[in-house]
Amino acid sequence: MLPKGKENKKTMGLRRWIVWMALPILVFVSTMAWAGHPLITDDTGTQGKGGFQLEVTGQYDTDKETVGSVSTESKGVQAATTLSYGLIETADLVLGIPYRWTEIKADGVTTYDEKGFSDMTLDLKWRFFESEGLSLGIKPGLRLPTGNDAKGLGTGRTGYQTFLLGSWESAPWAFHANLGYIGNESKADEEKHLWHASLAATYEILKGLTIVGNVGAERNRDKAADRDPAFLIGGIIYSLFDNVNVDLGVKYGLTSAETDWSYMAGMAVKF
């Protein structure tokens, strides 16, 4: 344990870097409204005119990093509520409300410990083409600065993004792809123009039981970073009823810029 004066000096010196390390995770989570949790890649499915879907998800993250001579360890919990409403048969309005708690320690000393709501999202998802199992969609959206940016819980500015969605289904298989642009408006000195690319596959092994896989990457928000975050997800989705799904998943960071491990669970209800 460092003497009090040195510990405080070290904590102050690391605080800005710690917030920068936590913020990309918060922003990435809040920009994605997962249609098929635990997948991050969205599909082209919509709720139908007048239909609703309420999705509640949770995630536990762990990560270890070494920067210079400083070893950091972080852990946290993410929770999100996503409400989708079918405006017309092929278009949904999607509202996402995320909550997060994160604790980060540097050489065993707690340097960051905050919790609260982060930036809300509002998206319009439109499926504009479908033929013989192939469908295409577009999903523009806004990220609203509802999180406290001084605590690293939000960006402090309104952001925006647009994703192109593609799905191909041939039972029992389904494949999905996303290509996205994110306008990363933030009070932090970060990259403003970000890309996202991801692929997902699902396979129904039994009636109502589906295994899923997902891989993807995104441009790093840290201008000084030499690696982009990339992930791999494996999981299952089980239909309890025709209108209720539950899911479990594990996300692994393929690069050091991504969170090492995330353990995911969720429930979606259509009504």
pTM: 0.86
Residue with tokens 């997962």: 34
Distance from C-alpha of 39 to C-alpha of 166, rounded to nearest angstrom: 14
Percent of residues in the chain assigned helix, strand, coil, to nearest 5: 10, 60, 30
Ordered per-residue pLDDT tens for the chain, 271 residues: 333 343 444 444 444 444 444 554 444 444 444 458 999 999 999 999 999 999 999 999 999 988 788 899 999 999 999 999 999 999 999 999 999 999 999 999 999 999 999 999 999 999 999 999 999 999 999 999 999 999 999 999 999 999 999 999 999 999 999 999 999 999 988 999 999 999 999 999 999 999 999 999 999 999 989 899 999 999 999 999 999 999 999 999 999 999 999 999 999 999 9
Closest among 110, 77, 93, 76 to 33, alpha carbons compared: 93
Q: Do the beta carbons of residue 235 and residue 212 sit within 8 Å?
A: yes
Strand partners of residue 81: 56, 97
User: Could you name the CATH architecture of 4-270?
Assistant: Beta Barrel (2.40)
Domain boundaries, the chain: 4-270
Q: How many CA atoms lie within 13 A of 179 on its CB side?
A: 3
> Using CA of residue 261, residue 18, residue 102, residue 40, what is the dihedral sign?
negative
Q: CA-CA distance, 35 to 71, in Å (whole number)? A: 36
